Structure 1
Amino acid sequence: MDGLRGDLCGVQAAMRVCGQVLAAVLITGLGIHCALPAYSVDDSMGAGASAGSGAKGGSAGSGASAGKAGYGGDGGNAGDGGTIACGSYTCNATLEQCWNGQLCVARLVTVPALLPGGGTTTHQIDATEVTREQYAAWLAATPSTTGQPAYCAWNSSYVPATACTTDPSVCSGSGCAAHPQVCVDWCDAFMYCAGVGKRLCGKVGGGSNNVKAGGNDPKLSQWFNACSSGGVFNFPYGGDPTSSATHGYGQGKCNGVNPNGGATAPVASYAYCHSPLTEYDGVYDLSGNVSEWEDSCEQSTGEKDWCRWRGGWFGSLVNGDMTCASPTFIPSRSKAEPSRGFRCCHD
């Protein structure tokens, strides 16, 4: 493992780090956060939607699950720009792709992974957290609440929790479309991912992880593998885990405590909040902005299962929450918060 990490760090650092570090120094020194192209579809969530998650009857619809249709590759690379026509929507070609000719969803990025028994594989992970606009478009298709896993039987609505969306930290009014979707519970996140042909990030190779084991093993956790560049870094952008748990932290490189005034920022708007290694580049905000639900729970019995969330949020300090190895989990699948969102993966 050490040899592989050395190869990744040595070869890729030699190829790319010098230029990226210079760019990062210039950007950080000027206090600039580089925003990517704006979404062309009007905001659709505003300050939140009516009825709290789990508070109203399920809406009839065409069903949430649609298999794995629509994904033939990674889509465009970050920086391509432009737009993609997708049914009645227009996708941002830099960060999105068209799913099944129907919805704009986060662009999938393929990353390498090691297998527990030896050998290598790949998996895909969303380039960004699921945005307000993407989630609203899925809700507009009236996904059915039937077909949820048995441990989500209590969940009668996918609408973000009203009490949560009125929190002052939640983006409101115009200009929120590209902000991460917050105020959704674990089952909402799980079903959104299934509904667009993906899955909530979980175990490498398929399935769920146990919240008490394997959370910080790149051979087991898709999310941790992508965040740490295969176990090489403490943070998406760097830091040596063999030195200290928070080695390499860079204030302002991701949206942690205070950089954005204690609120969410549009996804991928922090220019240095991604891996410097080519194999893992193109995945943004795995540290900060909002914490992210993971398919990693204590058991599968119901609403009060303990589940893990990852990566810290806009109010996090460098006390561990902002690291890829963030240890945090919460005693409820149903807990929706203004600082928590999610992203999806694909095998």
Structure 2
Amino acid sequence: MNLPFELNSICSKIWDTVKFGLILIDEKGEILLWNQWMVKHSGISVDAAINRPIQSLFHEGITPSPSFRTAIKNALSYKLPIVLSAALHQSPLPLYASPVAAHEQNRMHQSITISPINWDEHTHRFLIQIVDASIHVKRERVLKSQSDQLSKDATTDSLTGARNRRYFDDRYEIEFGRAIRQGTPISLLMLDVDFFKQYNDFYGHQAGDDALILIVNMIKAQLHRATDIVVRYGGEEFLIILPDCTAEGCLHLADKLRTAVFDRKIPHQGSGIADCISISVGVATKLPETDCTSATLLQTADTALYDAKKTGRNCVQHRMVPI
């Protein structure tokens, strides 16, 4: 298709002025048009690009992504439009926002559209449009980060940094269901700070808050699996979900927590059993062969905690869910 010289000149100015990449290829994938935006962001001149196969244009070792190569192949074969979105294919081509980015191999995020054009009765051309999607991708990342933070804030106890009851209600059901499906044990560890009301009465509520924060940090320091989660269940009552944890493993952890808190020797003149803060711990375990509900396991942990308080506090008591 031949255009009058004046119109051709106007078109040339337009595609070299637009703020996005324009590439025109023929049915063999050879480049017919390479605009100035592509020159700027690829480092490849017009003369170096024209009549070169687009698949082999870029420098050795710095190649288009497999998704781009597949998209070109399909466009040429089936004569259908193809879109490579920035969300799914962030940097298909080795294009860079600046020379510094190119030196650091920090590719620009791109949104690419390949459109077949009926050039004449028997010939097709393919217009490739590349838009810099970096700002959009960064905005999406910021929004996701803010969303994640809001979600975390909504499920985190603002005082101690432990997860809150809302988080527990959802996560516990997920872990309980997974234990049933996978045939693995699951345990709950419920702990209570001994004589905490008396601690608040004696030292004041600010000291009580500080003590809870310290206890939660001590608990977290003993939890080494990402799946082990501490939850503030009530005022001074905490729960720990322990997926795939045997009774022996739970008892070992519970006693480590109890010892860590007691050995910290946080003064507690209002305690009825010691001169420092202590905790009572109840542990409940559901074995794979046990048929029970999540509510039953939770109630069993609560009963085990009651046993620990009844037998003198500053101790660990364990109950298996009845088969």
Shorter-chain TM-score bucket reads under 0.3
Q: Which structure has the bigger radius of gyration?
A: 2
Q: Whose relative contact order is higher, 1 or 2, with alpha carbons under 8 Å and at least 6 apart?
A: 1
Structure with a larger share of its residues in strand = 2
User: Could you state the TM-score of these two structures normalised by the residue count of structure 2?
Assistant: 0.25
